[in-house]
Amino acid sequence: MAGVTDVHVHVQPFRMLRPEILGAMKRERPQFPQILKMSEDPAVLLKILDDADVDRACMINYVAPEVMGFLPTVNDYVLKYAKADRERLIPFGSIHPGHTKDVRREAKALVKKGLAGFKVHPPHQLLFPNDPRLGPMYDVAEEAGIPVMVHTGTSTFPAAKSRYGDPMPVDDVAVDHPDLTIILAHGGRPLWCDAAFFIARRHKNAYIDVSSIPPRRLLGYFPRLEEIGDKVLFGSDWPGPGVPGIQQELDGIRELLLTKELREKILVSNARKVFP
């Protein structure tokens, strides 16, 4: 199926990870040398996308020094990486209000440099998405017409605090910023899928990405998926924990007992609305 967008690929400066997390990645992922090479050479990622017949990928980055080790320079990293093929590589960056002096100014500067979306990762940034300090960033994204992706659901990394992953505070953000496009990454899995479903139904600009949800479990988490068919985006979460690969995730979605129309929406047309 031509035109597929993977809205959730972790293309990050993995050498920046805290030692204990980097060590775990090396132990748990036999393909780690390829992952490390991919993080340093866009040609490797583009080849992976070509092999999976994926047109575009959103490259997810966020500032989380305390939990992950990612510093504010992740924004410079992803903007430079995306220059290899800006039509196919969509850079997502981040602002942590605890690590900047002026959220609004930094947000505007990143948009001017070409950032295509902001990422908020509450369990790793140790804040709720409706933290008032993030308000200026949401204002800038809303004005610029670019989306904000919010991690919803649990995280198993050592210092992560999963209570921040409850999607309901995102409802506040959507109410206060009615023209802001919001992507609920992971659909609140596994504890808060009903809340994510509610938010996607309630707000015209709220979407769910299905990344990190094993395709065989997707309809278990979202038995009424077809009711929000216009609000669902394909994402792989590769090379996140337990994700075998972009191709495998894509094949799994295609094998679901979904209609051709729904597959087209989830894999192609919904992402075209969010990322024209």
CATH number reported for the structural domain that contains residue 198 in this entry:
3.20.20.140
Residues in Cβ contact with 86 at an 8 Å cutoff, skipping those fewer than 6 apart? 114
What does the mean pLDDT of the chain come to? 96
Integer Cα distance of 126 and 271 in angstroms: 29
Assess whether pLDDT exceeds 60 at residue 27: yes
Integer Cα distance of 34 and 157 in angstroms: 22
The DSSP 8-state label assigned to residue 129 in this structure reads T
Assess whether pLDDT exceeds 70 at residue 1: no
Residues 98-155: tens digit of each pLDDT: 999 999 999 999 999 999 999 999 999 999 999 999 999 999 999 999 999 999 999 9
Confidence of residue 28 (pLDDT cuts 50, 70, 90): confident
How deeply is 7 buried, as exposed, middle or buried, from its count of CB atoms within 10 A (0-12, 13-18, 19+)? buried
Integer Cα distance of 29 and 31 in angstroms: 5
Query: Strand 117-120 relative to strand 89-93: parallel, antiparallel, unpaired?
Result: parallel
Residue 239: name the closest of 38, 18, 77, 5 by CA: 38
Token output for 72: 């504010």
Residue type, 263: R
Range of the domain at 28: 5-274
Question: What's the structural domain count of the chain?
Answer: 1
Provide φ and ψ at 5, rounded to 5°. Answer: -115, 125
Provide φ and ψ at 161, rounded to 5°. Answer: -120, 105
Predicted structure pTM score: 0.97
Do 143 and 234 meet the contact criterion of CB atoms below 8 Å apart? no
3-class SS of residue 120: strand
Torsion of CA 21, 56, 53, 256, to 10 degrees: 70
Residues 223-240: tens digit of each pLDDT: 999 999 999 999 999 998
CA distances 151 to 23, 91, 143, 182, 276, Å, are: 23, 16, 22, 11, 22
3-class SS of residue 57: strand
